Amino acid sequence: MTQNNVQTPRRLAFELLIKTEKAKQYSNIALDKALEASALSDVDRRLASALFYGIIEKKLTLDYRISQLSQRPLSDIDAQTACAIRLGLYQLIFMEKIPPHAAINESVSLVSRKSSGFVNAILRSHTRSPMLSFPAPTKEPIEYLSTAYSVCPELCAKFTDTFGFERTESIFKAISVPVATTLRVNTLKITRDELAERITAPASTSISPHGLKVCGAVRNIYGFDDGLFFVQDEASQICVEALDARPDMTVMDICSCPGSKSFGAAISMENRGQILSYDLHENKLSLILEGARRLGIDIIKVEARDGRSPINELFGKADRVLCDVPCSGFGVLAKKPELRYKNPVDSASLPDIQLSILENACNYVRDGGSLVYSTCTVFPEENEQNVQRFLQKHKDFVLTPFSVGTLSVPSGYITLMPDTHGTDGFFIAKLTKRNDK
């Protein structure tokens, strides 16, 4: 039993961290539910969110620090006590504006009297010698990357095998910087410049012509209820621009949930034509319908479908097809911190699934029409290697150059990277079906 049960941002983060670790829930869903049920102020909600996400993101770094401060191995420390220590250490190491006495005392108050002395001793030991030291990168590069950037060793090895040590560290540094929220302006209702004048401290996206980077709770931003924008990373916006959807076209979005790319295509089409949005999970389709209503879009039709299952009557009917396939997600580590601890071996079967979806999706493209294949990962076997496998079988498709804003892609495909483009890690390939008639 903890010493008291008063709801505080630290207690909410603490209890939620324990719950999600046991239940293996997605962090964003678990946090949203907990915040909705709480009576915390907006300020306290922001603190709870920062602690919750931050501790998940830095878990291996915090555990490495615990191993340096404690004579007891982490495996011998019960889950609640370890979580309280992580909570305190995260504030002491990464949150400069929080006074050390508050970080320590609040963390100690979360555990039983039996454990409070141990938690207090570990945290105070850190304050006496606060410098972090990690394994030498030249001698133990994987250990260094894993503990310094809190990414599991298996994933660190995958990154270094693909990109080399220096580039991997560059990527990890980029995903360790707090990311702003990126909005896609609904130009059916307002221009980017007009919206920028009405919200607090926005910054225009550097590549996408329709994006704004902002801080703060999205629902509190001017224009949310009126459908003046929706949340969409710049990489996804670039993907939609590459699709080049136009008014009065027929567009198919094969794996569409939660719907942001369908929304972007509908806006590009000036809400004229039709978009057929499919997803394997029927329970998620309501997200698309709700979002479309808020944005004032009425050309999207939804249906539950496996992207590998053909719809014969639609073969050759689509002007544009978007094939944003399920992927390992290793391009969005900055936004989904639990993916830092996912073994890439668990994703080994994905390339074949992705290729099956792509090979089915290509059937819907009319002669002269285009297909965009995309993922939110950075590894070649899910990206350019899959495209090459596809092209070897489908000689009627060719890679097609495209450009978006200041970005030119003469090869027809690109992997956007956090350290060079300032976006999610994201792959885009544009393919056009030959029109030999």
Residue 152 known to be catalytic: no
Beta strands 300-304 and 407-409 are unpaired
* CA dist list (Å): 7 to 16, 45, 48, 432, 433: 12, 11, 11, 56, 59
| d(C-alpha 344, C-alpha 155), whole Å | 6
Q: What would the 3-class secondary structure string for 266-329 be?
A: HHHCCCCEEEEEEECCHHHHHHHHHHHHHHCCCCEEEEECCCCCCCHHHCCCEEEEEEECCCCC
Q: How far is CA 141 from the centre of its chain?
A: 26
Backbone dihedral region for residue 259 (phi beyond 0: left; psi -120 to 50: alpha; all else: beta): left
β-strand 413-416 against 249-253: which pairing, if any?
unpaired
- Non-local (6+) Cβ contacts of 420 within 8 A are none
Give every CB contact of residue 229 below 8 A, 6+ residues apart in sequence: 183, 184, 185, 186, 195, 212, 221, 223
Measured CA to CA, the distance from residue 386 to residue 380 in angstroms comes to 8
Q: Which residues are catalytic?
A: 376
